[in-house]
Amino acid sequence: MSQIQAGGGLRHWRSKLINPVLDKEFRLRMRTSRAMWALFFYLFVIGAMTFGFIYIMTVMPSGSSNSFDPSQSRLMFYFICVVQLGLVAFMAPGLTAGVISGEREKQTLNLLLTTQQSSTTIILSKLFSSLSFMLLLVISTLPVYSVVFLYGGISPKQLLLVFLFFTFVMVVLGSLGILFSTLFKRTMVSVIVTYGATLFIFAGTGFLYLLMSQVMEMTQRNSGTGYNPADYGWIGHIAAWNPVAAMFSIFDDSITEQVFMTRGGSTPPPIALWQEFLLFYSAVAIIAIVMAIRYIRPRYKRSGNGKG
Amino acid sequence: MIEIEGLTKTFGSFQAVKGIDLTIAKGCVFGFVGPNGAGKSTTMSILATLAAPTSGTVKVGGFDVTQHPKEVRKRIGYMPDFFGVYDQFKTIEYLHFYGASYGIPKAEREELIPQLLELVNLSDKKDAYVDTLSRGMKQRLCLARCLVHDPDLLILDEPASGLDPRARIEMREILKELKAMGKTIIISSHILPELAEMVDEIGVIEHGSMVARGNISDIQSKLRVKRVLYVRLLDRLDEAESFLRDQPLVGRLLRDEQGIHVHYEGQDEEQAALLMGLISSGYRVVSFSEAQTNLEDVFLEITKGGENVV
């Protein structure tokens, strides 16, 4: 009897948590072989890179024996994290940039939009299901990380933090992917624009920071008022938009001081890079999601009581 | 059920709908007719809350589509001219998904869905994957999807397009059943004769404007479509053809093995005189009848350059 009640209760909560769109997304995603191949590809790349790294480190003539010490292990952890971040940047747009435009191209979107499901439910369910799959990919790489623990040098807290960071990056890129998928009718265009935005976030912000630091340094040196790097420390805010810099600031606090030019000085940096990254991209993700919700259905000129 | 006033819809500089006024009563089956690109699908997608009108008001069941789209969606079942299906779903799962999307509890769906599958003759395909169904079956499945929340109004955009003759007949039979169930149906087609048996009214749309509206016989009489007479003779068909050609009000003549189709512009008096003329000239007339002008003739007559605006 109690088992029946427990089963009923579980079903009740399941129906509360999983709406029809989410249920459909979960079911259909796992019914194609694409899910399996994506998982295989992801694990293959990260596994190959990790074991390749270990191989290079052990055969490199470093003066010591062919062993792998904790400092090298930490280096490997950073390396895996960068590879993982790269893979997240590669997968997130691919998994989200077609979720709305794909339905439009398959001519199923109109049918979905005439149901009672709200625009918010549709967008958030699509985002959540894509994120769940990405999370599955990232979690499936945990055995690879366990190799790092084999040699030591990294705390579980750092591992947890970096996984939370990956999740956040997925949410940001996923939100952008869903926005472009809603705005552009064709998946091809949406995918290109999402990868373009991802490229800017990863490479463009880094390039912009380096360019600005060179320009500011030259300007300061030629100004004749005395060179003080702290005067142009504000360019650190540009570095805070870069996920790689933000991720490394989680591992090492001194990176924040370096980019804000406060190292060795008495003034502390205004904010840690990863904190600014979280704030800035939280705003970006929220704006992207709100816009996607707004634009998935027609915008009526008159603002009556009804909502799409 | 539907009230449309001064509806316009513009895409950039192109005006797809130019001030349509239309009222459709509850329980009416309305045939929306017009050539491709006339504005039928645009009007239907506005009714289905999928496009915003540029100006004018559109109400379904008393609810304005721009102000209460959610209420409108509860009351409509929409079947677009082109639609896709989730191929990885089984037929029964497909209907469960849409049923759940309309907020129908699972227990209710368990009862309802077999009935819907029965209605559209897909009971034996309930566990088949949707991508294995034929075009006609998918069309019927989509119709079942439209009905899953028991809407008052069905908006069916070219439901018979791309179907083979058998599937068309099956679709027509289902629509007749729905009509008998008292549903209000707005159905578009460019193949008018198919609608003839079931529509109560037709509206002809061309270049975004409604050029004719009413029941079919009204429209026929208003347009004064030429009569087509069929004269069947025992013999002397060649001579009869030349005789008819010389008669006043006679237009085009078309011969077949047994008789002659005569496009005739005269009224009943002149028509009777023509028959007497044939008999008094010694032609052995087996039958002399007025061929039924079909809906395609009406359609072509109405839409020939938009001249005959009713």
pLDDT at residue A92, rounded to an integer:
92
pLDDT at residue B242, rounded to an integer:
92
pLDDT at residue B294, rounded to an integer:
59
Measured distance CA(A235)–CA(A212) in Å, rounded:
7
pLDDT digits (tens, 9 = 90+) for A18-40: 788 888 888 888 888 888 998 99
Q: In chain A, which residue's Cα lies nearest the Cα of B87?
A: A28
Is A8 an 8 Å CB contact of chain B? no
Specify the residue for token string 């960071």.
A165
Q: Residues B204-228: what's their mean pLDDT?
A: 75
Triad A291, A297, A303: Cα angle to 5°: 85
Count of H-run helices and E-run strands, chain B: 11, 14
DSSP classification of residue B235 = S
Residues from B contacting A (CB-CB < 8 Å) are: 45, 48-52, 64, 66-71, 73-74, 76, 78, 80, 82-86, 88-89, 93, 97-98, 100-103, 106, 142, 145, 149
pLDDT at residue A265, rounded to an integer:
61
Backbone angles phi, psi at B103, to 5 degrees: 80, 20
Interface test with B, best of A115, A119, A125, A126 (most B CBs within 10 A): A115
Per-residue pLDDT at A128 exceeds 90: yes
- Which tokens in the block code for residue B208? 């975004």
Please identify among residues 278-297 of chain A the ones whose CB lies closer than 8 Å to any CB of chain B: 297
| Closest partner CB to B101 (pick from A27, A31, A117) | A117
Measured distance CA(A81)–CA(B179) in Å, rounded:
63
Measured distance CA(B179)–CA(B153) in Å, rounded:
11
pLDDT digits (tens, 9 = 90+) for B87-114: 889 999 999 999 999 989 989 999 999 9
Measured distance CA(A219)–CA(A226) in Å, rounded:
11
Per-residue pLDDT at A304 exceeds 50: no
- Kindly provide the ipTM of the predicted complex, given to two decimals: 0.80
- Helices A156-183 and A187-199 cross at an angle (nearest 10°) of 140
* A16 band by pLDDT with thresholds 50, 70 and 90: low
pLDDT at residue A227, rounded to an integer:
65
Strand partners, B57: B5
- Which tokens in the block code for residue A209? 């920071």
Specify the residue for token string 């008998």.
B180
Per-residue pLDDT at B132 exceeds 70: yes
Q: Comparing C-alpha atoms, which of B256, B131, B109, B115 is closest to residue B177?
A: B115
- Which tokens in the block code for residue B179? 């009509």
Is A114 an 8 Å CB contact of chain B? yes
What are chain B's domains? 2-85+147-221 (3.40.50.300), 226-292 (3.30.70.100)
Is A20 an 8 Å CB contact of chain B? yes
**Residues of chain A with C-beta less than 8 angstroms from the C-beta of B48:** 110, 114
Is A33 an 8 Å CB contact of chain B? no
Q: Quick check: A107 and B82 CB within 8 A?
A: yes
**Residues of chain B with C-beta less than 8 angstroms from the C-beta of A301:** 52, 66
Q: Quick check: A308 and B74 CB within 8 A?
A: no
**C-alpha atoms less than 13 angstroms from C-alpha of B306 in its C-beta half-sphere:** 10
Name the least confident of A1-10, A78-87, B52-61, B125-134.
A1-10
Q: Compute the count of residue pairs across chains A and B with CB atoms less than 8 Å apart.
A: 95
Measured distance CA(A178)–CA(A123) in Å, rounded:
8
| Closest partner CB to B73 (pick from A31, A108, A116) | A116
Per-residue pLDDT at A293 exceeds 60: yes
pLDDT at residue B226, rounded to an integer:
67
pLDDT digits (tens, 9 = 90+) for B278-308: 999 999 999 998 876 556 666 666 665 444 3
Measured distance CA(B169)–CA(B161) in Å, rounded:
12
pLDDT digits (tens, 9 = 90+) for B230-262: 899 998 899 999 999 999 888 878 888 888 988
Beta-sheet strand order (sheet of B285-291): B250-255, B259-264, B227-233, B285-291
pLDDT at residue B34, rounded to an integer:
80
Q: In chain A, which residue's Cα lies nearest the Cα of B96?
A: A20
Q: Residues B195-209: what's their mean pLDDT?
A: 81
Of B6 and B37, more confident: B6
**Cα separations in angstroms, B208 against B8, B15, B34, B66:** 8, 7, 9, 20
Q: Residues B208-218: what's their mean pLDDT?
A: 80
Measured distance CA(B2)–CA(B24) in Å, rounded:
5
Q: Residues A128-144: what's their mean pLDDT?
A: 90
